[in-house]
């Protein structure tokens, strides 16, 4: 799978950071302060409807979708963000938020197109083919186009709006409209279009106002790995950094999955390279995430098979994380007071790129 390593401040594919200034107690603004209960009810209803509409036809391999998993499928029941110890009130909120549901990137759209043409032209038709294979050949349409290229889908915007409403319902004093417009709340995002769109959608959900966005594109923070010498020299321009990926793609685990998937498609194994096995898995995950559909492509994989195509993404991501872990850690240290641990911000002059692994 494509590397998609988590929060925006620690990976190339995450989105915006919303931060309420420490100690800030901006006066709540109109709609923001008056309807916290309404917002909470609306967010709960939207989440419930989404789960009711989509939960009836979820493939059992969905637990292995990794970064392509639907957000509503991982919401923990009973999570209460607003609970606080007696006598305490929140003074600061930092939210590191991943971008919403998106289309495949151009690279994967081209793979999906190749796979579709292969199955249409080479897989035998007619008597004896399972119903799901006939559905792929006769009914399924390759609807992804290259201009989609990883852009946020409408459901992805809804992901962020709903998240914002839930956060506002828990912390109305920290996430007031006055705080956002007055600079007490900063919203930062990377220049990736899906991240910018997610930052906009979050603000729409926060205060129900469209086309009035207050956010900063800051790649030096949100895509700092691009300026990290340990990453650039050790991974990005290092031809040996992905040797483990190549070993995995030609290893016994994926070879066995290729053989089984080829047999189900009634193709010769040599016709189906590893990247097209991965593409079939992506179709299953994207169509569930974007359209809430149980795609016929999901029938290609058993639960055991599905454990394998997710592994390449981990093999790709690991070399990125090693230099990043060492470069980000000096920014924050755990300080101690006589009462309780606290986080102390170390001078920003400490550059992430100066710590190499």
Sign of CA dihedral 284, 288, 291, 294: positive
- The length of the chain is 357
What's the rounded Cα separation, in Å, for the pair 266 and 275? 18
Strands 332-336 and 185-189 turn out to be: unpaired
Non-local (6+) Cβ contacts of 266 within 8 A are 123, 124, 129, 133
Candidates 38, 92, 99, 250; catalytic one: 99
User: Catalytic residue at 215?
Assistant: no
**DSSP letter string over 93-137?**
-EEE-----BPPPHHHHHHHHHHHHHHHHHS--STT--HHHHHHH
DSSP class of residue 342 equals: E
Place of tokens 């606080």: 84
| Cα angle 191, 195, 200; round to 5 | 105
Place of tokens 């995995």: 248
Place of tokens 């998106």: 102
For the record, the structure tokens of 143 come out as 């609807």
What residues act catalytically?
99
């Amino acid at each position: 799978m494509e590397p998609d390593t988590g929060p925006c401040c620690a990976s190339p594919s995450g989105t915006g950071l919303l931060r309420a200034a420490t100690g800030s107690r901006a006066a709540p603004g109109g709609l923001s302060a008056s309807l916290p209960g309404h917002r909470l009810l609306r967010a709960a209803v939207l989440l419930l409807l989404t789960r009711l509409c989509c939960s009836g036809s979820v493939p059992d391999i969905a637990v292995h979708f990794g970064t392509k998993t639907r957000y509503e499928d991982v919401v923990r029941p009973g999570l209460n963000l607003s609970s606080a110890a007696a006598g305490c009130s929140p003074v600061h909120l930092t939210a590191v938020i991943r971008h919403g549901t998106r289309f495949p990137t151009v690279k994967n759209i081209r793979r999906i197109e190749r796979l579709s043409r292969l199955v249409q032209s080479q897989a035998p038709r007619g008597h004896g083919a399972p119903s799901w294979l006939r559905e792929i050949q006769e009914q399924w349409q390759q609807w992804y186009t290259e201009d989609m290229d990883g852009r946020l889908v409408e459901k992805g915007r809804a992901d962020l709006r709903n998240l914002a409403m839930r956060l506002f319902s828990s912390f109305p004093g920290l996430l007031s409209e006055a705080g956002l417009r007055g600079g007490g709340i900063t919203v930062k995002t990377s220049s990736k279009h899906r991240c910018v769109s997610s930052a906009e959608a979050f603000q729409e959900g926060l205060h129900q106002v469209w086309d009035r966005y207050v956010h900063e594109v800051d790649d030096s923070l949100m895509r700092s790995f691009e300026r990290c010498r340990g990453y650039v020299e050790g991974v990005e321009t290092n031809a040996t950094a992905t040797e483990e990926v190549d070993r995995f793609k030609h290893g016994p685990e994926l070879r066995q999955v290729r053989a089984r998937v080829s047999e189900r498609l009634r193709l010769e194994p040599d016709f189906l390279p590893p990247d097209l096995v991965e593409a079939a898995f992506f179709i299953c995950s994207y169509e569930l995430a974007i359209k809430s559909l149980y795609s016929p492509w999901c029938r290609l994989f058993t639960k055991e098979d599905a454990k394998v195509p997710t592994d390449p993404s981990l093999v790709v991501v690991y070399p990125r994380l090693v230099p990043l872990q060492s470069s980000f850690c000096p920014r924050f240290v755990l300080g101690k007071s006589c009462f309780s641990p606290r986080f102390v911000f170390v001078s920003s002059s400490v550059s992430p790129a100066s710590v190499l692994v």
